[in-house]
């Protein structure tokens, strides 16, 4: 929904609303949304006192990590940027050159799996959880430098089993999806 030619005060109102809804929008994405230059967005943010993306992520991440129970923060592959324990979570992984297959420059599947799996564990409201089953699908190859946005959702809980779906996106495109069944340790694995 582009807001073409909006007066500045209206654009700034929408802008702060948009960023509140999705703190991970880049200045580039915002510029496109409002059909203005990136420089305009930067000035808007400065006037509104909204920090740059990196700072926003950092601040959201710090709050997120403190909520996780089932896994040590640094064991999550990717940056945890949002979490509602027992319900859902989001992590961001910036892929790098050392994650790729030499032959194809495509990011190796187990990094993507590790991002999804560690996020699935993190969202669980349990002291300790292990992966029991995972059904996963890689839909589009990912290249180094692409930013993976993983979204996990706890679908249901049955006894000591948690069903978690994770979808990973590059820009708005889904590149991976996985269904995980996690088992909280109190009841053992079965």
Any contact of residue 132 with a copy of itself (CB under 8 A)?
A: yes
- For 108, counting Cβ atoms within 10 Å of its Cβ (0-12 exposed, 13-18 middle, 19+ buried), the class is middle
- Rounded Cα distance between 52 and 42, Å, is 8
String marking each residue 25-64 x if it binds a copy of itself according to CB under 8 A: ----------------------------------------
- Rounded Cα distance between 178 and 75, Å, is 19
Comparing CB distances to a copy of itself, the nearer of 12 and 117 is 117
Any contact of residue 108 with a copy of itself (CB under 8 A)?
A: yes
Smallest distance, Å, CB 154 to a copy of itself? 18
Among the candidate windows 32-40, 54-62, 87-95, 109-117, which touches a copy of itself by CB under 8 A?
109-117
Taking each helix axis from N to C end, the angle separating 8-21 and 27-34, rounded to the nearest 10 degrees, works out to 130
Compute φ and ψ for 81, nearest 5 degrees. Answer: -115, -10
Q: Which of 9, 94, 87 is CA-nearest to residue 44?
A: 9
Any contact of residue 173 with a copy of itself (CB under 8 A)?
A: no
List of residues contacting a copy of itself (CB under 8 A): 71-72, 75, 77, 101-104, 106, 108-110, 113-114, 117-118, 127-128, 130-141, 185, 189
């Amino acid at each position: 929904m582009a807001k073409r030619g909006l007066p500045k005060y209206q654009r700034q109102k929408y802008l702060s609303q948009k960023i509140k809804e999705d703190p991970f929008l880049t200045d580039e994405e915002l510029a496109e949304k409002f059909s203005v230059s990136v420089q305009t967005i930067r000035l808007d943010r400065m006037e509104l006192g909204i920090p740059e993306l990196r700072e926003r992520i950092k601040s959201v991440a710090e709050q997120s990590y403190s909520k996780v129970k089932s896994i040590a923060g640094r064991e999550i592959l990717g940056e945890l940027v949002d979490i509602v324990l027992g319900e859902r979570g989001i992590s961001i992984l910036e892929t790098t050159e050392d994650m790729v297959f030499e032959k194809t420059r495509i990011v190796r599947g187990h990094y993507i799996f590790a991002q999804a799996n560690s996020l699935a564990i993190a969202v669980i409201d349990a002291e300790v959880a292990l992966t029991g089953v995972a059904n996963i699908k890689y839909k589009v190859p990912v290249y180094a430098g692409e930013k993976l946005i993983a979204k996990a959702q706890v679908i249901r809980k049955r006894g000591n089993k948690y069903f978690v779906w994770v979808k990973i996106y590059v820009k708005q495109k889904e590149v991976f999806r996985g269904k995980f069944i996690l088992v909280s340790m109190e009841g053992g694995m079965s």
